[in-house]
Structure formats: structure tokens, C-alpha cells
Chain A
Amino acid sequence: MGVLIVLFLTAILVLFSGVFEKGKYARYIGIAGLIVGLYVSFLPECEFFAQYRSMYEYGDNAQLFTKISIVATSLLFFLGGFAFSNHRSHQSELYALMLFALCGGVVLFGFQNLVTLFLGIEILSIPLYVMAGANKTDLRSTEASMKYFLMGAFATGFLLFGVALVYGSAGSFDLYTIHDFAINNPKNLMLIMGAILMLCALAFKVSLAPFHMWSPDVYQGSPSLITAFMASVVKIAGFFALFKLMTIAFNGIAGDWINILGVFIILTLLLANVMGLVQTNAKRMLAYSSVSHAGYIALIFFGINNFSTYILGYYLFAYSLATVGVFISLLWVEKIKKETSFTAFNGLGKREPVLAVVSTVSMLSMAGIPLTAGFIGKLGIFNQAIGGHYEFLVLIAVLGSALSIAYYLRLIIAMFFYKEDNFNTTEKASITYNIVSVVIILALVSMGIVPDLFAKIFGL
């Protein structure tokens, strides 16, 4: 709860900093606040907040995921510099909205109660609807905002209907009361319907097929920094909420929803990867890659063991780092060329070697090549699913990975194999970009070489 307060206050401060100097200091205040928040997230929870435990508990898992998402958000804040330069007058609002969305995520990490879950989801989503439309002069951005809002509204409807059905059957919003009820009444149709509706609602949020239709357009239309935020922090929050909800509240009726989730995964992995192959725009490709990763991550529900939460955290952190890593060069190319087709990346390897390398390492990590964090994450997830005898799903995931490597390679090939063309500026990427790049490379590679590093850093 302490973290939540720190982040919330930071967001307010950032919002009001826009009054002075056109929000010039918003980013720095935000970074400072995030660092304080990260520090607080390592402290044990104050006893004063114990009275809220039935709504929100800052337990071990909540701590881990809070830390991860604060780190991911801070990296994006460091990159913020020129990413928002098109809309200078609204910088502080956008940074503040990002922080508010993060607060929503933190609420989700500790929810004990379906009401908190709902609040968290809405606090997370509503700022995103606004941020997606931040490029007010760009029609695509407006379209993204509209689309995201409409789809989000549908998802909310699903969620609320699900909550209502669950409440109607179990008579409580409390996660553990529902858990006990589900174990004692595994055949309660109303509860099962509720669980499935909630699953669908959250599948919207994490963009699992067939509820992924909004994501390519929204990802492409939104300002790139916001897209990176959606692909990293929102995914972390959405998945952990889904994980906690399904494995705690609806564990007793797992047989009724797990097959549906299995179908979602198969659809996601095949659709997203095949669609990713035919893209000509890097940002859209990354959107499909993000959808496909939702498919891999959802394998965590199969063959659950004691390590599952740890693996989930590991995978999500690795994935967020990699996402930010790819977006670094995307942000840069978009700024220079005002577009993000694959050909826009030609020759980036020579022009900005550090940015090209960080994107390459990140994409290799997403594809699961050894010595990167992504490999350890995939290994953990595959190992768990094979241990739980879901070999078939793992095979589909392997097929998906095989397809995905082809489109990741296209970007790497563009950066390194093709000759540079029409970079009509001599401007070099700023030092912050290079520093963040090096940090991400080091993090991805060292987590890939020393898998226990993750546990050590986040104090597990």
C-alpha cells in the first residue's frame, strides 16, 4: 500500500508540474517518484495497512510484480525524452497518466477481492484509452483510442457480468471465500459461467486470441512509448491478475475453464505468429509478437507447480525488458523517419550500433535463444507444461516460436544486412538512449547466464 501511495502522489505532482514551464520537469519528477517507489516496494508493509487486508494485501507475489513493473515503467520514463516531443504541451499529463495506470497495476497485484480487481482493471485501463489517443493530429491515434475504449468497455461488461454471477453463486467478493465455495460446489453452473466470463474479460486485457483483434491497430496507432507501456506493464498486470484469479478463486473448477484457455492459447499462437509473418510494419509486427507472447505466457496455467509464480514473474520481466529494448530503436527510427516499416530500419546497425544491438538481443530473447533471459523464461514455462503432461500445447508453442523467429529475423536483417539508405540527418541518439540500451543488454544477457540473478535482485 505504501508503494501505491508514493506512486499516486508522484502522479499528482507530475500532473501539476505541467502548470510550470510547460511540464519540462514532469519526467524528472516522475523518475524520482518511481525510484522512491521502487525503494518503498522493497520495505515490508506497514502494520497500519493490515486493516485493509481483505481488499488489498501486499504479499510476496504482489511485491515481486510491483517491483518488476516499476522497473519497466522507469525504463520507459528514461526513454521519454523525445518520444513525446511532438506534443510538448501535454507531456506532464501523459507522464501522469502513465503513473496512474501503473497505480492500477499495483492495485491488481495485491487484490484480495473482486471489487479491488475491478477497480484495478479500470484504473489501469482508463488512462490507457486517453494515452492511446495522445497524437491528437494523427487519425490512426484517434482510431486507436476509440477502438481501445470500445473494446475495453465490452471487456468491462464481461467482467462485471462475471463478477455478478460469481457473487450470485458464492455470495462473496472475497477471493478465498470463492475458492472454498468452488471446491465445495464444483458443479455450480452459475459459478462456472462467471469464471468463464471473467476469463474472457481478462483475455481481452492481455490480448489472447480470439479477443486480440484490437491490439494490432491500437499498438500501431498509439504513440510508440505508450505502445511499449501497453506491451510491457499492462501485460504484466493483466497476466498476474488473471493468474491470481484463476488459480486461487477458480482453482476448484479448473477442469471447466482450462480447456477453453487451451483453445485460446492454440488460436493465439497460430493466428498471431502467422499474421506477424505477413506484416510490413515493424510496429504492427511487434503488436502481433506481443499477442503471441500472451499465448506463451498463458501456458503458465498448465501443469502448475511451486515455481509457477516465479516463472511467470521471470518470463514477464524478461519480456518487458525485451519489449522496451526493441522499442528503443523503434522510437529512434520513428523520430528520424516518421514511419516504422521494415525498410526504415535498413542500415541502423551501422548508424546506431548500440540501439541496433539492443533490439537484436531483445528479439533474440523474445524468440528464446540461449544466453538471454527469454530462453530461461521459455525453458521454465515449457518445462512446467511438459511436467504437467501438456506436451501438445508445448508443441504448438514450438511451432509458434518457429514462425516467430522468421519475423524477428526480418528486422534484424534490415538493421544489419541491408545497406543504409536515406537517413537524412546526422543526429545521433542521445546518451540516455545508449545508457538504457546497455542496461537492457546487460540485464537480458546476465539473467540468461545466471538465472538465479533475478531472484537475488528482487529479494526472493
Chain B
Amino acid sequence: MSYLLLTLLLLPLVGSGLLFFWKNASSKYIALAFALAQMFLAFYMLGSFDFNPTVDAPLQYEITYPWSSYIKSSLNFGIDGMSMLMVLLTNILVPLIVLSSYNESKGYPNSFYALILLMQFGLLGVFTSLDGLLFYIFWEITLIPIWLIAGIWGQEDKRIKFTTKFFVYTFVGSLFMLIGLIYVYNHAASFALTDLYNANLNINEQNVIFWFIFFAFAVKLPVFPFHTWQPDTYTYSPTQGSMLLSGIMLKMAVYGVLRYLLPITPLAIGGISGEIVIILSVIGIIYGALIAMISTDSKRLIAFSSLSHVGLIVAGIFASAVVTMRTGLTFEGGQGAMIQSFAHGINVVGLFYCADILYKRFKTRDIRKMGGLAKVAPKFAILFMIILLGATGVPLTNGFIGEFILLKSVYTYNHLMAVLAGLTIILCAAYMLRFYGKAMFGKGDDSVLATTKDVSNVEFTVLASLSVFVIVLGVYPQPVIEMVTSSVSFIYSSMIN
């Protein structure tokens, strides 16, 4: 029984409950206090985290508590390298997301922050649960707060249509996952992770179950034909909603693919299903990048760029999995996916915040109507550039190492696919620089620029914190790689057994 992990899980829930009833102006400070406490707790846990655990005890801070007598599922939480990285990501980003909203006056601020903390609770539950049903429950818990955030504080009237679409899409995906998990449960006789791994499904069953479970992840990631909710929802959510969705919530699916899909349905992945997923994600990479090239709406551009980057993550995971099933253990795809997830979280949150800052200055999301901001806002120009380079994956930024490992993994699977997937980096450079060029240089509207100020303290703090992560992880990614290696290799090797 680890009280540390229990505190980590319950603290945001307590904060959220408190904030729902805290109807006064200081609710934002309370929210930040909880988020920061949570961040320090995560770093404290990192301090006592064992980076090279023994094979028989890879999980740390484990909690087990019986839950129900007639559903064979237990409250089982624990942390290994993958979980630790995702817990860190969540707890680093949530304080920044809370902070990023400080300059805005929102209606019902207490509910807004309460929902963000509730979301954090759900996310941490997803990343630490070691039980299929528990995973599903937390997976669904995250949906409600983000839906309310997007729906109530969204930007335009269209938000209602798009948030409904988002909810229905993800809910349907999740239901299919539930059916898949129940099917496996019926063979494994328990929802415990190890039992699910050893469910002994034959190849036909695995092929079906694979698509059932993958559907939920594919919607949330999103993988190419399941993405139609994503650009609209990212665009019309409030900035904090987009940050939560793309920065953290998307990673639930990456995590889920590694933790649940690979070990439960290895035969399906070794067969045709795995190949189909790789092809879909490569299509997504190119499709997303091409749409981003012609997007003029800043948030839409980031949304499609995210689609493209996520495609590479998925392609990398499955390329390694397919190679593992056919010729022997390679787990670098999973490694790259986790590292890239962390980096992508930092970068995309930064990009959305930059888009938000631009929106506040120019009162438009149309990048063709922006221009010349670099002259009057030099600090912003530098920070924006750093984050943008991180997103593009320039060497010595955090985006590089992950993309490199992922591309290498796709290369071992198929050279042509690697060439196509590699387009993401080239195209990304093209559209990101176009975005930056339009917004920051060129001739802007002088009347707007005359009254425009450089970043405020709050904005500076958020962007500078993110930039620090971009550079530090770019120069020295070793700790992150070490953190995930043992757990990722465990997952890929359990595919072969």
C-alpha cells in the first residue's frame, strides 16, 4: 500500500470537490496551489523512483484493494516507467494550463478549474491503473470534464455541435473498447492486467478484439479515418481545453495501445491488422501535414499538425510490434513513442498557447491577417521560435530524439514507409515556418501593432517553462529514455510469449 500514490490520485479530486463550492475570485489561486502541490508530489515520487527495476517487480508504489465481489476486478494502481513519464507530463502541464488562463475572465471560474482538476484525476487514474475495467472507467471519467470545458467555455456558437460530435465519437469508441475488454475478461476470468495478458485468445478472436479495442484508441489519437471530430473540437474549445485534449488526453491512447493492445492481441498485430494500422497512420501523417500546409486558421493548423505527428507515433509503435512478432524483439518504436508523447505534450501545449496569445493580439485566428509581431514583441518571438523548433523536431530540441527513434523503427519495418513517414519532418518545417513567418514578420497592421504589448508575466512564465523543457530534453534526453526502457521492453517481450 503506497500512500504516496494514493495521495497523488486523490489530491486533484479533493481540489476539484473543494473548488466546485468555492465561489469567489480566489478560486484560480486555489487551483494553482493544488496543481503545484501535485507537481511537487510527482517530482518527489520521481526522486524515489527506481529507474532499473528488477524483472519480477517492475511496478512501484503499488496499491491493491478489493473492489467488487461479483465483478472480478480490483482497485489496483501502480507505476512503472511509462506511467511515471505520463504522470510527470500530466502534473507538469496541468499547473501551466491553469496558469495560462490567468489573464482571461471566464464565467464560473470555480467550476472551470474544478473541471480541470477533475480531468487531472481521471488522467492520472488512466496512467496508473493496472486493471482493465479500472482503465476503462478512468478513460470515461476524463470525457465528462473535457466535454463540459469545451461546451461551456468554447469560443463560438458552433461549439455545441462540435462538442456533441466529439462526445458521441469518443463514447462510441469507448463502448467498443468495453465490449472488447469484456470479451477478453470472459476468457481471462479477471480484469487484472496479467490475466488479460494471458487470456489465450486464438488468432481469429484476436483479430476482432484488436479492432474493437483499437477503435477507442484510434478515435482519441486520432488515427486517419477516425479524426473528423478532432480539428473542429480543437478549434472551438477554449485554449485550455485544446491543451488538455492534445497535450495529455491524446497520450492516454498512446499509453493504452502500449499497455493493453500490444500484449492482449499480439497475433493480430503480427498479422494483417498491424499492417493496416501502419498504412492508416502513414496516410494520416501525410494527410495531416498537407492540410496543415493550406490551413489559415492557426488552431486548425496546429490540430492538423498534431494529427500528422501522432501518425508517426502510432506508425512507430506498430512497426516495432510487427517486427517483434516476425523476426524478434525490437522495442525502440515503443520507446520513441513514449519519448515523443512527452515531447509532443510540451510542444503542442506551447503551440496552442502561442496561438492564443496571437489571437489576443490580433483578434483573429486567420494567419493571413497577422504580421509584424516580432518587432514589437521580441520576447514572445524568441519563446515562440523555441517551441516551434521543438515541434518541428530540430536536433537539440525535445522533438528530435523521439522522431528519430520512431523513424528508425519504421525503417526496420519497411524502407518505403519510412521515407513516406519522414515527410512529416519536412512538411512540418514548411508549414510551421510559414505560420511563424506570417504571424511574426512581414507587414502587419500598424494600428494594431502600435498598441500591442509583449508577453505579460503570466504568459512569459508559461512559455519560458515550456521552453526550458524543450531545450533541456533536447540536449539531454537520456533520463527519459532510461525511464521507459525497462517497461517498454517488458511489454514488447510479453508479446512474444
- Complex interface: chain B residues within 8 A of A55 (CB): none
Contact A386 B186, CB 8 Å, known A370-B136, A370-B140: yes
Residue from A379, A387, A405, A410 within 8 A of B71 (CB atoms): A379
B189 vs chain A, min Cβ distance (A): 10
- Complex interface: chain B residues within 8 A of A370 (CB): 136-138, 140-141
- Complex interface: chain B residues within 8 A of A409 (CB): 164, 167-168
A288 vs chain B, min Cβ distance (A): 17
1/0 per residue, CB under 8 A from B, across A350-389: the answer is 0000000000000010011111000110011011001100
- Residues of chain A whose beta carbon lies under 8 Å from any beta carbon of chain B: 307, 310, 364, 367-371, 375-376, 379-380, 382-383, 386-387, 391, 394-395, 398, 401-402, 405-406, 409-410, 413, 416-418, 450-452, 455
- Residues of chain B whose beta carbon lies under 8 Å from any beta carbon of chain A: 67-71, 133, 136-138, 140-141, 143-144, 148, 151-152, 159-160, 164, 167-168, 171-172, 175-176, 178-179, 182-183, 185-186
- Complex interface: chain A residues within 8 A of B141 (CB): 370-371
The reply to whether A416 and B152 form a contact with Cβ atoms under 8 Å apart is: yes
The reply to whether B70 and A405 form a contact with Cβ atoms under 8 Å apart is: no
Interface CB pairs A-B, < 8 A, 22: A370-B140, A371-B137, A371-B141, A375-B140, A376-B71, A379-B178, A383-B182, A383-B185, A387-B186, A391-B179, A402-B171, A402-B175, A405-B167, A405-B172, A406-B168, A409-B164, A413-B151, A413-B164, A416-B148, A417-B151, A417-B152, A451-B67
A394 vs chain B, min Cβ distance (A): 6
The reply to whether A451 and B70 form a contact with Cβ atoms under 8 Å apart is: yes
Main secondary structure, interface of A, reads: helix
Contact A382 B70, CB 8 Å, known A402-B168, A409-B164: no
The reply to whether B186 and A383 form a contact with Cβ atoms under 8 Å apart is: yes
B178 vs chain A, min Cβ distance (A): 7
- Chain A residue nearest to B172 (CB atoms) is A402
Complex-state Cα separation, A376 to B69, whole angstroms: 13
- Complex interface: chain B residues within 8 A of A416 (CB): 148, 151-152
Query: 10 new A-B pairs (CB below 8 Å) besides A451-B67, A451-B71?
Result: A369-B143, A376-B71, A379-B178, A391-B183, A395-B179, A401-B175, A402-B172, A409-B164, A409-B167, A452-B68
- Complex interface: chain B residues within 8 A of A383 (CB): 71, 182, 185-186
Interface Cβ pair total, 8 Å cutoff? 83
- Complex interface: chain B residues within 8 A of A417 (CB): 151-152, 159-160
The reply to whether A382 and B179 form a contact with Cβ atoms under 8 Å apart is: yes
- Complex interface: chain A residues within 8 A of B175 (CB): 368, 398, 401-402
Main secondary structure, interface of B, reads: helix
Q: Identify the 3 closest CB pairs spanning chains A and B, nearest first.
A: A370-B137, A402-B172, A451-B68
Complex-state Cα separation, A416 to B70, whole angstroms: 36
- Complex interface: chain A residues within 8 A of B182 (CB): 379, 382-383, 386
Complex-state Cα separation, A394 to B67, whole angstroms: 25
Complex-state Cα separation, A382 to B175, whole angstroms: 11
A166 vs chain B, min Cβ distance (A): 34
Complex-state Cα separation, A452 to B164, whole angstroms: 33
- Chain A residue nearest to B186 (CB atoms) is A387
Contact A398 B179, CB 8 Å, known A370-B137, A451-B68: yes
- Complex interface: chain A residues within 8 A of B69 (CB): 452, 455
Complex-state Cα separation, A368 to B179, whole angstroms: 13
- Chain B residue nearest to A453 (CB atoms) is B68
- Chain B residue nearest to A389 (CB atoms) is B186
- Chain A residue nearest to B66 (CB atoms) is A452
- Complex interface: chain A residues within 8 A of B176 (CB): 398
Complex-state Cα separation, A382 to B159, whole angstroms: 33
The reply to whether B179 and A386 form a contact with Cβ atoms under 8 Å apart is: yes
- Chain A residue nearest to B180 (CB atoms) is A386
Complex-state Cα separation, A405 to B186, whole angstroms: 26
Complex-state Cα separation, A380 to B70, whole angstroms: 9
Complex-state Cα separation, A368 to B143, whole angstroms: 13
Complex-state Cα separation, A455 to B68, whole angstroms: 11
- Complex interface: chain B residues within 8 A of A418 (CB): 160
The reply to whether B140 and A369 form a contact with Cβ atoms under 8 Å apart is: yes
Contact A405 B137, CB 8 Å, known A386-B182, A417-B160, A451-B71: no
B41 vs chain A, min Cβ distance (A): 23
B49 vs chain A, min Cβ distance (A): 29
B6 vs chain A, min Cβ distance (A): 15
- Complex interface: chain A residues within 8 A of B137 (CB): 370-371, 375
- Chain B residue nearest to A394 (CB atoms) is B179
Complex-state Cα separation, A418 to B159, whole angstroms: 11
- Chain A residue nearest to B167 (CB atoms) is A409
Complex-state Cα separation, A416 to B133, whole angstroms: 30
